[in-house]
C-alpha cells in the first residue's frame, strides 16, 4: 500500500516532491511549500488514496536550517487504509496555504502549529492562538524558546467580540425574516452572551465556551481551550525517553494505562523492538482496563449532565473496584506509569486475575443497573436521541475517531484496522451507532465496555509465562550480578541510567486505539537521549474543535448533554 | 386556631383578657407552632432526602452527627449556614436580593395554615382553602424571580425565568386536576374534602377512575410546582450552576432550601387531603383510636418520599419538553377529564 501510494504521488507530482521515504513502513513525502494544497487535495480526492481523515498537523523546528520549520500532515484513509505523512518546509515568517478548506480538522491543527511555532497559514479563517493565551509572546515550541519561561495572562480573552455579536444579529434577522426587529426596524438586542466555563459544573476539566443565546437557543458559540496547557511536548524534548512515561499519565488521566501503552508502543516502533509475549498480553489487559474505566467515567458524568445523578454512583462504584486492582498493580490509582520501553514496570501480582475478574463482575453489575435505568427511559431518550447528532462524513471531516466516530456508523477502530499487540488474534466486535447522537454515543461506549471485558477474559486465559521485559540491552538494565561483576554490564547500566535510551535518528508515527479514539505519538528523534520532537495526537482535540458547530441551533441543555458525550479530557486536549 | 383560643380562654391566667388580645395570642401560638413544625419538618426532609439518596446510590449518606445515622446532620448544617459569611454580589439589587428568600419561605409557610392535619387540627379552616393554598404557593415564583433578577447573574436570571414559566404553566393542570373532586364534594375547604372520604379504603377519591387520572396529573404537576427532578429546571446544577440561588450563601440560602422542602410537604399534604383520604386510615374501626394528625402526616411523608425517590431515579427534561408536557398533554387531558366528569354528573345527577 505504502509503495503504491508513493509511486502514485511521484508520477503525479514528480517535480514538486523533494524527498520520498518509507522509514519503518510510514510513507512520508516532502513537498515544496507552494504545492502543499494541491498535493493534499489530490491525496484527499484520488480514488486509490482517498485520505479522508486528516489526523493532525505537527510542526518541527530545525533552527540551523535555512527553512527552519517543517509542517507535517498526518493523513489516513478509512476506506483504502492508506497511511501517509506529508511534509513541507517553511522559513521563519513565511506562510503555508491553509488546508482548512479541505478538512475542517485542519482548522485547529493549523492554529496549534501557528501558536507553538509561529508558522502562518494563508487563508486560515481564524488565525488565533489556541493552546497558549492571547497575551503570550513568542512561540513556545521553538527551540530557542527557554523551557522555564512561563507567561501569565492577566486579561481574559473576549471570544465573541462586539462585531461578532452584531454579525449574529444580522445573520439572525436574515434567517428569521424580521422576527428580531422591533417597530422601528432596529435590531432588537435580545441576544445574551454567556460564558460556559472555564469553571462551570458541566465543563469537565477547564474548557470555556462563550455562547450567544436567543432565549435558550444557542445562536453562536466560540470555545477557548488551553487552561490546562503545560506544553507537555516541550517538556518531552527536555527529558529522556523513559522519563516521559509519567508525563503520559497526565494526558488522559482517566485512562492513564492506555496512554502509557500508546507512548511506549510508538517508541518501540522507532527502536524496532520486540516485546515479550507476556508483556504484550498484559498490555492488552491494562489498555482494555483503561478503556473500561474511561467509558465508565464518560457515560457516568454524561448522565449526570442530563440530570440522572444516581447512575454516576453505579458506575463510579464499579470503577472504584477497578482502581483497587490498578492500585495493587502499579502502586498508584491515577498516575500509573505502568509501562516501560521494552516491557512493563513490574509483573502482575499474585491474585491479579481473581481481583480483576471480581472487579469486572462489579462493572457488569453497574452497567446492567445503568442500562436498566436509562436505555428505555422515555425522558432520557427524549433528551439524548437526535441531540448533538453528527453525520459520518462530517465526523470524518472534523477528524473524529473512536467511539464518537463509531456512533455515526463508521466501523473504524485501530484495533481492527491496524492491529497492534496481537489484537487480530482476539475475538471482539466493534459496536457502531446509526445517528451519531448523544444516545448512540452512550450506547456505543456501554457496548464497548462489554467488548473490552471479552478481550480481557481471552487475554487472561492465554496469559503465557515468561519475562515481561525485553532482554534487548539498548533498553533493558542488565541483571545486577552482571553490573557488579563485569565492566560491560556496569557500563551498560551507567549509560542507560545517565544518558537514557538511545533511539536511532528518524521519525515515526505510532498509534493505538485510545479510549476516546486514535491516540498517536509522532516522534522525531535525532539519535540523542531525548526526543527531538514529540507530537501527541490526542483524540479529543479534533472532536472538541467541532463542538461549537455541533451545538449551534441547539438549546443550552443539549449543548451540555453533547459535551459530556464527547468525553473531552482537558489533560490531553490542552497538553 | 379556634381550639387554641378556646384553650386559652379556659386557662386561669388568661381570665379577664380582652377577646382581641386572646385571639392575637392564639394566632401567635398557632403561627409559632406551624413555624416550628415547618422548620423542623423541613430539616427532617432534608435528612431523609440525603439518606434516601444515599441508599438509592449504594452509599450511606450522613452517618456521624447525632450518633444514629446522622440524624442531627441537618441541625449541624443549619448552624454552619448561620455562621457562614453573607456574601452580596456586586451590583446586586439589594432589596430584591434580600427579600427573595423570605418570599419563597413565606409562600411555603402560608400554605400550612389551611392544611387539615385532623378534624379539628387546622390552622384556619378556610372555605377557599384549596384556592388559598395554590395562591400562596405561587408566591414562591415571586421569590424565585426576585432572586434571579436581584442576583445580577445571568445564570440566576435564566433559572428564574425558567422557574417562573414552569410554575405558572403547571399551576393550570394542577388546578384543573383537582376540579372534578371539588365538583363532587362541592367545597374548596380542604377539611371538607378530606371528610368526604370517610369510611372504607375505596371511598378515597384515589379509587374513583376519573379522580385517579386527576391524581396522576396532580402528582406530576406538583413535582414541577416545587421544582423537583425531573422538573428541576430552575436549578439544573449541570446547566445553570445552581440556578436562581447561585449567588446565595448562609442563612439566605437556607431559607430557599427550607422553602423547597416545606413546599414539598405542602403539595403532598394537599394530595393527601384531596385524593388519599386525608386523616382516615381507610378502615373505620382503626380510625377511632389512631390519632388523625399522625395518619395525615405519615401519608404526606410517604408522598414526599415518592418525590425523593423519583428525583434519584429520573433524568431531567429539557425546557421545551417541559412546556410540551404541560401545555400539550396535561392541560388537554385535565380539561377532558373535567369535561367527562361534568358530563357523567349531569347525566347521572
Q: Does A556 touch chain B (CB under 8 A)?
A: yes
CB B101 within 8 A of CB B248: yes
| Among B58, B314, B320, beta carbon nearest to A308 | B314
Chosen from B148, B152, B162, B238 to mutate, greatest number of chain A CBs within 10 A? B238
Tell me which chain A residues have a C-beta less than 8 angstroms from the C-beta of B230: 307, 379
pLDDT at A361: 92
* A56 strand-pairing partners: A74
Outline which parts of chain A fall under CATH 1.10.645.10: 232-574
Mean pLDDT of B127-135: 85
N-to-C CA span, chain B: 37
Is pLDDT above 80 for A480?
yes
B59 touches chain A (CB under 8 A): yes
pLDDT surpassing 50 at residue A228? yes
Pick from B232, B239, B312: CB nearest A560: B239
Task: Return residues 175-214 of B near A (CB < 8 Å).
Answer: none
Q: Give the pLDDT score at A186.
A: 44
Cα(first)–Cα(last) distance of chain A, in Å?
A: 33
Kindly state the average pLDDT of the residues B237-254. 80
Dihedral of CA atoms B259, B100, A190, A192 in degrees, nearest 10, equals -70
Query: What's the ipTM?
Result: 0.80
* Domain locations along chain B: 83-177+185-348
Judged by CB atoms closer than 8 Å, whether chains meet at A310 and B313 is answered as yes
- Mean pLDDT, chain A, rounded, equals 83
In this complex, is the C-beta atom of A305 within 8 Å of any C-beta atom belonging to chain B?
A: yes
Q: Residue B19: its pLDDT value, please?
A: 73
Q: How far apart are CA A293 and CA A445, in angstroms?
A: 11
**Three-state SS at A391:** coil
User: What is the least distance, in Å, from the CA of A200 to any CA of chain B?
Assistant: 7
Placement of cell 458524568 in the chain: A301
Q: Which residues contact A156 (CB under 8 A, 6 or more apart)?
A: none
In this prediction, residue A182 carries a pLDDT of 40
Q: Which three cell numbers stand for residue A266?
A: 510508538
Helix B292-311 with B19-56: angle, nearest 10 deg:
40
Cα distance from A328 to chain B (closest Cα, Å)? Answer: 24
E strands along chain B, which residues? none
List the grid coordinates of B48. 431523609
φ, ψ at A88 (rounded to 5°): -145, 160
| Span A232-574 CATH architecture | Orthogonal Bundle (1.10)
pLDDT-derived band at A53 (thresholds 50, 70, 90) equals confident
Summarize pLDDT for B12-32 with one digit per residue, the tens. 666 666 777 777 777 787 778
pLDDT at A233 over 60: yes
Over range A167-178, report the average pLDDT. Answer: 44
Which residues of chain A make contact with B155, given a CB cutoff of 8 A? 194
Element (H, E) at A84: strand A83-90
Q: Which residue has the higher pLDDT, B15 or A436?
A: A436
pLDDT band at A173 (very low <50, low <70, confident <90, very high): very low
pLDDT for A174 equals: 43
Whether B6 and chain A come into contact, CB under 8 Å, resolves to no
Q: Does B316 touch chain A (CB under 8 A)?
A: yes
Judge whether B284 and B203 are in contact, CB under 8 Å: no
| Cell digits of residue B280 | 382516615
For residue A396, give every residue at least 6 positions away whose Cβ sits within 8 Å of its Cβ, in sequence order, or none.
A52, A53, A78, A405, A410
How would you write B43-95 as a 3-class SS string?
HHHHHHHHHHHHHHCCCCCCCCCCCCCCCCHHHHHHHHHHHCCCCCCCCCCHH
Q: Choosing among B234, B237, B239, B310, which should be mutated to test the A contact, i.e. which has the most A CBs within 10 A?
A: B239
**Res. A40: pLDDT tops 50:** yes
Confidence of residue B176 (pLDDT cuts 50, 70, 90): confident
Q: Region of A205 please: left (phi>0), alpha (psi -120 to 50) or beta.
A: left
Name the 3-class secondary structure at A58: strand
Minimal CA–CA distance to B101: which of B229, B245, B271, B211? B245
CB atoms within 10 A of CB A535: 25
At the topology level of CATH, where does A2-122 sit? Beta Polymerase; domain 2 (3.30.460)
Q: How confident is the model at residue A164 (pLDDT cuts 50, 70, 90)?
A: low
Tell me the backbone φ, ψ of residue A530, rounded to 5 degrees: -115, 155
CB contact under 8 A, B232 and A382: no
Cβ atoms A256, A290 nearer than 8 A: yes
Cβ-nearest to A309 among B154, B312, B319? B312
Asked if B232 has any chain A CB less than 8 Å from its own CB, the reply is yes
Q: Does A309 touch chain B (CB under 8 A)?
A: yes
Every domain range in chain A assigned CATH 3.30.460.80: 2-122
Contacts (Cβ under 8 Å, ≥6 apart) of A213: A191, A192, A193, A194, A219, A556
pLDDT band at A391; cut points 50, 70, 90? confident
- Residue among B53, B155, B229 minimizing CB distance to A307: B229
pLDDT, tens only, B263-273:
888 888 888 88
Tell me the mean pLDDT in the region A463-478.
84
Residue B9 pLDDT greater than 80, yes or no: no
Q: Can you say whether residue B180 is alpha, beta or left, with left for phi > 0 and alpha for psi between -120 and 50 degrees?
A: alpha
pLDDT at site A565: 83
The residues pairing with A122 across neighbouring beta strands, listed in sequence order, are A97
- Quote the percentage of chain B above a pLDDT of 90: 0
Give A382's contacts in chain B (Cβ within 8 Å). 317-318, 321
pLDDT band of residue A151 (cuts 50, 70, 90) is: confident
Grid cell digits, residue A201: 459544573
**Does residue B81 sit at the A interface (CB-CB below 8 Å)?**
no
pLDDT digits (tens, 9 = 90+) for B299-315: 888 988 898 888 888 88
Amino acid at each position: 500500500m505504502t509503495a503504491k501510494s508513493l509511486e502514485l504521488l511521484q508520477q503525479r507530482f514528480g517535480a514538486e516532491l523533494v524527498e520520498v521515504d518509507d522509514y519503518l513502513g510510514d510513507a512520508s513525502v516532502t513537498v515544496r511549500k507552494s504545492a502543499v494544497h494541491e498535493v493534499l487535495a489530490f491525496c484527499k480526492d484520488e480514488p486509490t488514496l482517498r485520505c479522508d481523515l486528516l489526523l493532525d498537523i505537527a510542526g518541527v523546528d530545525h533552527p540551523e536550517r535555512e527553512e527552519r520549520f517543517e509542517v507535517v500532515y498526518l493523513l489516513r484513509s478509512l476506506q483504502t487504509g492508506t497511511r501517509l505523512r506529508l511534509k513541507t518546509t517553511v522559513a521563519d515568517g513565511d506562510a503555508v496555504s491553509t488546508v482548512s478548506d479541505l478538512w475542517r480538522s485542519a482548522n485547529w491543527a493549523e492554529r496549534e502549529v501557528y501558536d507553538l511555532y509561529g508558522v502562518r497559514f494563508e487563508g486560515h479563517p481564524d488565525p488565533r492562538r489556541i493552546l497558549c493565551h492571547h497575551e503570550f509572546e513568542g512561540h513556545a515550541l521553538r527551540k530557542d524558546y527557554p523551557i522555564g519561561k512561563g507567561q501569565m495572562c492577566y486579561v481574559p480573552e473576549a471570544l465573541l467580540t462586539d462585531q461578532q455579536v452584531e454579525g449574529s444579529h444580522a445573520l439572525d434577522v436574515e434567517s428569521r425574516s424580521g422576527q428580531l426587529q422591533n417597530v422601528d426596524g432596529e435590531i432588537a438586542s435580545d441576544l445574551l452572551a454567556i460564558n460556559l466555563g472555564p469553571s462551570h459544573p458541566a465543563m469537565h476539566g477547564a474548557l470555556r465556551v462563550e455562547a450567544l443565546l436567543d432565549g435558550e437557543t444557542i445562536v453562536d458559540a466560540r470555545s477557548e481551550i488551553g487552561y490546562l496547557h503545560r506544553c507537555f511536548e516541550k517538556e518531552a524534548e527536555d527529558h529522556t525517553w523513559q522519563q516521559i512515561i509519567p508525563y503520559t499519565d497526565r494526558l488522559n488521566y482517566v485512562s492513564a494505562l492506555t496512554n502509557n501503552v500508546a507512548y511506549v508502543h510508538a517508541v518501540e516502533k522507532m527502536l524496532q523492538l520486540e516485546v515479550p509475549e507476556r508483556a504484550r498480553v498484559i498490555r492488552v489487559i491494562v489498555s482494555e482496563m483503561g478503556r473500561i474505566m474511561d467509558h465508565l467515567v464518560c457515560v457516568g458524568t454524561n448522565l449526570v449532565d442530563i440530570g440522572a445523578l444516581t447512575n454516576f454512583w453505579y458506575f463510579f462504584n464499579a470503577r472504584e473496584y477497578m482502581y483497587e486492582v490498578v492500585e495493587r498493580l502499579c502502586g498508584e490509582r491515577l498516575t500509573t506509569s505502568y509501562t516501560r520501553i521494552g516491557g512493563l514496570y513490574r509483573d502482575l501480582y499474585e491474585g491479579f486475575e481473581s481481583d480483576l475478574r471480581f472487579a469486572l463482575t462489579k462493572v457488569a453489575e453497574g452497567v446492567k443497573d445503568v442500562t436498566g435505568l436509562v436505555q428505555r427511559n422515555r425522558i432520557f431518550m427524549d433528551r439524548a436521541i437526535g441531540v448533538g447528532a453528527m453525520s459520518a462524513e462530517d465526523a470524518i471531516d472534523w477528524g473524529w475517531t473512536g467511539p464518537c466516530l463509531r456512533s455515526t456508523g463508521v466501523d473504524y477502530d485501530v484495533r481492527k484496522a491496524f492491529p497492534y499487540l496481537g489484537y487480530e488474534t482476539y475475538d471482539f466486535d466493534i459496536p457502531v451507532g446509526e445517528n451519531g447522537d448523544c444516545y448512540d454515543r452512550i450506547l456505543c461506549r456501554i457496548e464497548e465496555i462489554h467488548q473490552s471485558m471479552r478481550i480481557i477474559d481471552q487475554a487472561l486465559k492465554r496469559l503465557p509465562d515468561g519475562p515481561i521485559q525485553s532482554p534487548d540491552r539498548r533498553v533493558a538494565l542488565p541483571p545486577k550480578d552482571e553490573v557488579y561483576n563485569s565492566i560491560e554490564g556496569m557500563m551498560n547500566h551507567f549509560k542507560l541510567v545517565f544518558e537514557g535510551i538511545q533511539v536511532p535518528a528518524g521519525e515515526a508515527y505510532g498509534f493505538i486505539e485510545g479510549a476516546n479514539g486514535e491516540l498517536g505519538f509522532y516522534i522525531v528523534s535525532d539519535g540523542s537521549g531525548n526526543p527531538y520532537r514529540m507530537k501527541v495526537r490526542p483524540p479529543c482535540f479534533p472532536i472538541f474543535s467541532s463542538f461549537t458547530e455541533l451545538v449551534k441551533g441547539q438549546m443550552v441543555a443539549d449543548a451540555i448533554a453533547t459535551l459530556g458525550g464527547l468525553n473531552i479530557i482537558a489533560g490531553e486536549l490542552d497538553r | 386556631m379556634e381550639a387554641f383560643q378556646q384553650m386559652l380562654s379556659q386557662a386561669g391566667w388568661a381570665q379577664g383578657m380582652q377577646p382581641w388580645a386572646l385571639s392575637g395570642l392564639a394566632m401567635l401560638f398557632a403561627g409559632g407552632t406551624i413555624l416550628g413544625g415547618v422548620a423542623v419538618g423541613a430539616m427532617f426532609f432534608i435528612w431523609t432526602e440525603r439518606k434516601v439518596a444515599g441508599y438509592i446510590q449504594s452509599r450511606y449518606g450522613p452517618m456521624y452527627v447525632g450518633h444514629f445515622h446522622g440524624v442531627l446532620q441537618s441541625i449541624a448544617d443549619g448552624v454552619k449556614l448561620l455562621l457562614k459569611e453573607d456574601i452580596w454580589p456586586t451590583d446586586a439589587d439589594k432589596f430584591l436580593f434580600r427579600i427573595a428568600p423570605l418570599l419563597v419561605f413565606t409562600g411555603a409557610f402560608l400554605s400550612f395554615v389551611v392544611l387539615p392535619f385532623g378534624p379539628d387540627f387546622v390552622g384556619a379552616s378556610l372555605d377557599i382553602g384549596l384556592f388559598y393554598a395554590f395562591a400562596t404557593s405561587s408566591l414562591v415564583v415571586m421569590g424565585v424571580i426576585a432572586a434571579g433578577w436581584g442576583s445580577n447573574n445571568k445564570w440566576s436570571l435564566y433559572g428564574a425565568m425558567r422557574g417562573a414559566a414552569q410554575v405558572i404553566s403547571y399551576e393550570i393542570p394542577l388546578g384543573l386536576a383537582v376540579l372534578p373532586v371539588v365538583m363532587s364534594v362541592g367545597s374548596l375547604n380542604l377539611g371538607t374534602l378530606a371528610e368526604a372520604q370517610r369510611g372504607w379504603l375505596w371511598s378515597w377519591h384515589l379509587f374513583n377512575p376519573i379522580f385517579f387520572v386527576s391524581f396522576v396529573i396532580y402528582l406530576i404537576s406538583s413535582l414541577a410546582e416545587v421544582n423537583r427532578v425531573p422538573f428541576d429546571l430552575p436549578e439544573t446544577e449541570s446547566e445553570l450552576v445552581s440556578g436562581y440561588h447561585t449567588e446565595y450563601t448562609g442563612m439566605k440560602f437556607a431559607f430557599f432550601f427550607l422553602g423547597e422542602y416545606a413546599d414539598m410537604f405542602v403539595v403532598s399534604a394537599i394530595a393527601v387531603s384531596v385524593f388519599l383520604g386525608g386523616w382516615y386510615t381507610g378502615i373505620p374501626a382503626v380510625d377511632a383510636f389512631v390519632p388523625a394528625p399522625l395518619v395525615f402526616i405519615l401519608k404526606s411523608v410517604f408522598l414526599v418520599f415518592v418525590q425523593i425517590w423519583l428525583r434519584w431515579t429520573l433524568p431531567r427534561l429539557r425546557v421545551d419538553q417541559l412546556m410540551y408536557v404541560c401545555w400539550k398533554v396535561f392541560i388537554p387531558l385535565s380539561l377532558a377529564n373535567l369535561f367527562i366528569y361534568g358530563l357523567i354528573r349531569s347525566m347521572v345527577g
